[in-house]
């Protein structure tokens, strides 16, 4: 049975009981519009905890002024159904913003180095909003483990850094990106794509797969790996924000002329029409998106 909880106090009371009984709590933070990628996060949380809380909250502070906060899909009834089918015990979905941002709220969290480049450079206030809401959710839920998707790779590094720096006593787990049959990463934002742009967006998994193929053939220099990824993406994208290689932990970009000597992520952000998509592969670790 899945319980829908809208306020902090009843959620805390319910979880205090679980903890008293020695049960480990797992949390899956989401903004709702759940798809198979989210279901994989819930399945992982279920493997690692006895009580699973899925949070559903479209967090206003992580959207920039011209971003899609207002039109972000809100599908709570279906989301609760999906959580029920996955066996999550609790869905925490605040009825309005003031549950998590009560009047007078002003504290914000910054993780300046990990957020300096890539997404952080193009969405300057985004990670401040993410880090702040994630710590709020951790403090409300008190989980032993939280599960995030590796599609939002930089977000995973930001949350991991934040939890480590602030001694948040819990485990943070990232799980592989779930993809459509043609390799496109699942994202709630895919729903915005026109059929034509959806076709063109296949250039993203094609580009990442070309980079993985080059890596597997022994290429270790940044520039050719980026070039291999960029070509198919540039063929269909309306615009490209970045195709870049970065250190897989610090997220510092690697010089285009450098040879890769440590774990690196190849990350991209591109627009198809007005829809902005992101994706990545950790070189030497992730399989090619198109198998
Ligand atoms: O990845 C998301 O859906 C959001 O950024 C998160 C982690 C739920 C914070 O609002």
Residue 69 CA to residue 83 CA, distance in Å, equals: 23
- Whether residue 29 has its Cβ less than 6 Å from ligand 1: yes
Cα of 154 vs centre of ligand 1, distance in Å, is 12
From residue 187, alpha-carbon distances to 111, 119, 199, 251 in Å are 25, 16, 15, 22
Residue 244 CA to residue 280 CA, distance in Å, equals: 9
pLDDT, tens digit, 9 for 90 and up, residues 4-32: 999 999 999 999 999 999 999 999 999 99
Whole-prediction pTM: 0.98
Q: Which segments of the chain belong to CATH 3.30.1300.10?
A: 188-282
From residue 29, alpha-carbon distances to 157, 204, 213 in Å are 15, 26, 33
DSSP 8-state symbol, 254: P
Mutate to test the pocket of ligand 1, among 133, 137, 147 (most ligand atoms within 8 A of CB): 133
The CATH code for residues 188-282 is 3.30.1300.10
- Whether residue 193 has its Cβ less than 6 Å from ligand 1: no
pLDDT, tens digit, 9 for 90 and up, residues 126-145: 999 999 999 999 999 999 99
Cα of 31 vs centre of ligand 1, distance in Å, is 6
Predicted pLDDT of residue 291: 84
- Whether residue 152 has its Cβ less than 6 Å from ligand 1: yes
The ligand 1 atom at the shortest distance from the C-alpha of residue 62 is 10
How many of the other CB atoms lie within 10 Å of CB of 227? 16
Q: Which segments of the chain belong to CATH 3.40.50.620?
A: 3-175
- Contact present, 137 and 62 (Cβ < 8 Å): no
The ligand 1 atom at the shortest distance from the C-alpha of residue 152 is 1
38 catalytically annotated: yes
In a 10 Å sphere around its CB, with 0-12 CB exposed, 13-18 middle and 19+ buried, how is residue 239 labelled? Answer: exposed
> 3-175 domain in CATH 3.40.50.620?
yes
Bridge partners for 277 per DSSP: 270
pLDDT, tens digit, 9 for 90 and up, residues 74-103: 999 999 999 999 999 999 999 999 999 999
Residue 286 CA to residue 291 CA, distance in Å, equals: 11
Bridge partners for 25 per DSSP: 51
- Whether residue 134 has its Cβ less than 6 Å from ligand 1: yes
Residue 39 CA to residue 21 CA, distance in Å, equals: 26
């Amino acid at each position: 049975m899945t319980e829908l909880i809208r306020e902090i106090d009843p959620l805390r009371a319910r979880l205090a009981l679980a903890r008293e009984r020695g049960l480990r709590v797992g949390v899956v933070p989401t903004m709702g519009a759940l798809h198979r990628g989210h279901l994989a996060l819930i399945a992982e949380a279920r493997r690692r905890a006895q009580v699973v809380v899925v949070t559903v909250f479209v967090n206003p502070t992580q959207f920039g002024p011209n971003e899609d906060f207002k039109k972000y899909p809100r599908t709570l009834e279906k989301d609760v159904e999906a959580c029920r089918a996955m066996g999550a015990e609790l869905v925490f979905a605040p009825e309005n913003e003031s549950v998590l941002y009560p009047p007078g709220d002003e504290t914000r969290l910054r993780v300046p180095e990990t957020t300096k480049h890539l997404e952080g450079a193009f969405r300057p206030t985004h990670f401040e909003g993410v880090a702040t809401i994630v710590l709020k959710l951790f403090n409300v839920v008190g989980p032993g483990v939280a599960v995030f998707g590796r599609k939002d790779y930089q977000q995973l590094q930001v949350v991991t850094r934040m939890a480590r720096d602030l001694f948040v006593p819990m485990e943070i787990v990232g799980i592989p990106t779930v993809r459509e049959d043609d390799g496109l990463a699942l994202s709630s934002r895919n729903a915005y794509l026109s059929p034509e742009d959806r076709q063109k967006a296949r250039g993203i998994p094609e580009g990442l797969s070309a980079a993985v193929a080059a890596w597997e053939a022994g290429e270790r220099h940044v520039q050719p790996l980026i070039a291999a990824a960029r070509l198919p993406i540039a063929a269909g994208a309306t615009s490209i924000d970045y195709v870049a290689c970065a250190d897989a932990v610090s997220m510092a970009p690697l010089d285009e002329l450098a040879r890769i000597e440590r774990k690196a992520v190849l990350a991209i952000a591109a627009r198809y029409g007005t829809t902005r998509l992101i994706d990545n592969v950790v070189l030497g670790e992730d399989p090619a998106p198109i198998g």
